[in-house]
Amino acid sequence: MSRLAFLLAGATLALPAAAAGAEPEAPANDQLSAAQVVKSLPATLKGTTAGATTEPGEADSLCASGTGGSVWYSVRPASAERIAIGLEASGALDATIDVYHAVRSRLEHVECQQTDARGKASLSFKASKNGLYEIRVAARAGSQRAPFTLNVFLPTPAVTPPGLPLPPGGAAGQVDRIQDVNAAYHFTLRSGVSYLINLANTTPHACVGGQLFGPGTSSFEEASPLLHIHCGGFRLFTPGPGRGGRYVLEVTPRFTHVGVQRFRLEVAPATTAETAPGVALANYAHAHGRLDSRGIRVIRLYRLDVHSQSNLTLKLIAPGSARFSLQLRNQDGHVIECACFGEGSQTLAHRLAPGLYYAVVSTNGVTAGDYTLIRESRTITRTSVSFSSAKAAAGQGLSVDVSVAPSESGPVTVNVERFDPVFGWQFYRQLHGTVSGGRVSLPFTPPALGRWRANASFEGTRTASPSRVGFAYLLVS
């Protein structure tokens, strides 16, 4: 692809009509072939899009569609380094910056940015030694053509390993896409010990990321990270056999976010409240705790032993402003159910088979607060009902037998109905009793001939769910 016909875009965009008077002359660097050379850094350059044109086949910016007149600059660094560019537009100029790497006859897109509401745009990119980089400033369609100031400079060099020592209580810092493109901290981890690593975003809408590197790392570019933290958050890391030593965590900003991105980093050994086996949570127990996304207390793990098929309810009581996630996981770590994106109190309800389960309470974003976690488990029951005889005579004493499995004790209710050959089944009487050891027999004497039936309900208890069954039938002749 030729540098004059790069990216093979659509036809040239027409320039806005000029105000009264003659059209302004095209700037000297209107064409790519006449790009203004940036000889040394830092450089402050005055330019304008007034009178600028677009070349045949010139593409739109990749950061904004509909770009018009453009002007060009070129820079060739003597060494591999990061180069930063800042644009300040005058008047009502809305513009874009695009950086291309000239590779023989081709232009490879490197980075772009468009001006914000204040008419400013900034970006940085990694340049290779003696590489030729073309910088295009273009007005957006419908924008005023006006002067601008372009600053090209070398930002603060990226931090190299091992960085700063991380204090025991953690550290706060900041990064941005132009000046402070990374930060790094080192700390000592022991083999076989699990550690919580929490990287908290403290700037709204920012998105810092982290990469953990092992002992002996001398270059972030050449080493492979052991762990990634995307857009903040926490991770658990355990060094393997013989892998104790000094680890380094590099913090980097989201390069699409404009401005400073602040963070807080803390690393500490995980306790049994944060990793397996977790804290045992008995039935109807109330577990109290506090989480703070800016510190190391960001997660709590609770162990639930379920001995019979049960209906489980987990209630998380938290302030309305707290953004906590509540998860229910099985013994293999798979998420069964999650209340992950709400605020304040949360509730999960699920039917569980016997086994080992975990409840996880964790922070979600920048938040802090106290909480109470309540477990309510009720055994799932099955109720059956029968008459002591399927046939009887009028006035004969019988019983209605009710059983509840597994063997439970609690109140039961039996409804007895009679059959009318014209109007169907009609309610006759309600019997009440209490099962003990899962059984109860309630006396019943049919007063007349005909067909009778009964259903039964176990009302449930604090630890057993209600259940019902129907019908058992009786013929009185």
The answer to whether residue 146 scores a pLDDT higher than 50 is: yes
Let me know if residue 402 belongs to a domain. Answer: yes
Q: Indicate if 386 and 372 belong to the same structural domain.
A: no
pLDDT at 21: 54
Q: Indicate if 263 and 292 belong to the same structural domain.
A: no
CB atoms within 10 A of CB 68: 23
Q: Indicate if 239 and 327 belong to the same structural domain.
A: no
Let me know if residue 158 belongs to a domain. Answer: no
pLDDT at 259: 84
The answer to whether residue 278 scores a pLDDT higher than 60 is: yes
Helix (H) or strand (E) holding 469: strand 467-476
Cβ neighbors of 16 (< 8 A, separation 6 or more) are: 68, 142, 145
Q: Indicate if 138 and 50 belong to the same structural domain.
A: yes
Residue that the structure tokens 């510190």 belong to: 295
Q: Indicate if 137 and 22 belong to the same structural domain.
A: yes
Let me know if residue 159 belongs to a domain. Answer: no
Domain count of the fold of the chain: 4
Let me know if residue 199 belongs to a domain. Answer: yes
Q: Which tokens go with 227? A: 């762990």
Residue pLDDT, tens place only, 290-317: 999 999 999 999 999 999 999 999 999 9
Q: Quote the percentage of the chain above a pLDDT of 90.
A: 88
DSSP label at 6?
G
The answer to whether residue 330 scores a pLDDT higher than 90 is: yes
pLDDT at 2: 46
Q: Indicate if 119 and 181 belong to the same structural domain.
A: no
Average pLDDT (373-385) is 97
The answer to whether residue 6 scores a pLDDT higher than 70 is: no
Q: Indicate if 59 and 128 belong to the same structural domain.
A: yes
**Identity at 232, one-letter amino acid code:** G
Alpha carbon distances (Å) from 386 to 225, 312, 418: 68, 30, 15
The answer to whether residue 99 scores a pLDDT higher than 80 is: yes
* Confidence band of 256 (pLDDT split at 50, 70, 90): confident
The two counts, helices (H) then strands (E), for the chain are 0, 35
Alpha-carbon gap, residue 27 to 47, rounded angstroms: 8
DSSP label at 118?
T
pTM value?
A: 0.77
Q: Quote the percentage of the chain above a pLDDT of 70.
A: 95
pLDDT at 10: 37
The answer to whether 477 touches 390, Cβ cutoff 8 Å, is no
Alpha-carbon gap, residue 250 to 236, rounded angstroms: 16
Edge to edge, what strands does the sheet with 81-89 contain? 43-48, 147-153, 81-89, 120-127
Q: Is the dihedral of CA 79, 82, 88, 93 positive or negative?
A: positive
Q: Indicate if 391 and 373 belong to the same structural domain.
A: no
Q: Which tokens go with 211? A: 């990469």
pLDDT at 68: 84
Average pLDDT (425-432) is 97
The answer to whether residue 35 scores a pLDDT higher than 60 is: yes
Kindly report the CATH number assigned to the domain that includes residue 386: 2.60.40.1930
Mean confidence (pLDDT) of the chain: 93
Average pLDDT (409-437) is 97
The answer to whether 181 touches 261, Cβ cutoff 8 Å, is no
Edge to edge, what strands does the sheet with 164-165 contain? 164-165, 183-189, 245-252, 209-213, 227-229
Residue that the structure tokens 């023989």 belong to: 104
* Confidence band of 22 (pLDDT split at 50, 70, 90): low
- Residue that terminates a domain, selected from 214, 243, 269: 269
Alpha carbon distances (Å) from 245 to 188, 213, 217, 218, 444: 5, 11, 11, 14, 79
Alpha helical stretches, state H, 132-237: none
Structural domain span for residue 209: 164-269
CB atoms within 10 A of CB 3: 18
Q: Indicate if 149 and 189 belong to the same structural domain.
A: no
Query: Residues 227-253, buried b or exposed e (16+ Cβ, 10 A)?
Result: eebeebbbeebebeeeeeebbbbbbbb
Let me know if residue 335 belongs to a domain. Answer: yes
Residue pLDDT, tens place only, 191-205: 999 999 999 999 988
**Identity at 379, one-letter amino acid code:** T
* Confidence band of 5 (pLDDT split at 50, 70, 90): very low
Q: Indicate if 20 and 138 belong to the same structural domain.
A: yes
Q: Three-state DSSP class for 80?
A: coil
Kindly report the CATH number assigned to the domain that includes residue 20: 2.60.120.380
- Residue that terminates a domain, selected from 324, 344, 378: 378
Let me know if residue 274 belongs to a domain. Answer: no
Alpha helical stretches, state H, 37-109: none
pLDDT at 206: 87
- Residue that terminates a domain, selected from 235, 269, 303: 269
The answer to whether 146 touches 90, Cβ cutoff 8 Å, is yes
Give the phi and the psi of residue 465 in degrees, each rounded to 5: -75, 150
Let me know if residue 337 belongs to a domain. Answer: yes
Q: Indicate if 94 and 169 belong to the same structural domain.
A: no
Average pLDDT (63-89) is 93
pLDDT at 12: 35
Let me know if residue 204 belongs to a domain. Answer: yes
Helix (H) or strand (E) holding 109: strand 106-114
Q: Indicate if 173 and 233 belong to the same structural domain.
A: yes
The answer to whether 321 touches 344, Cβ cutoff 8 Å, is yes
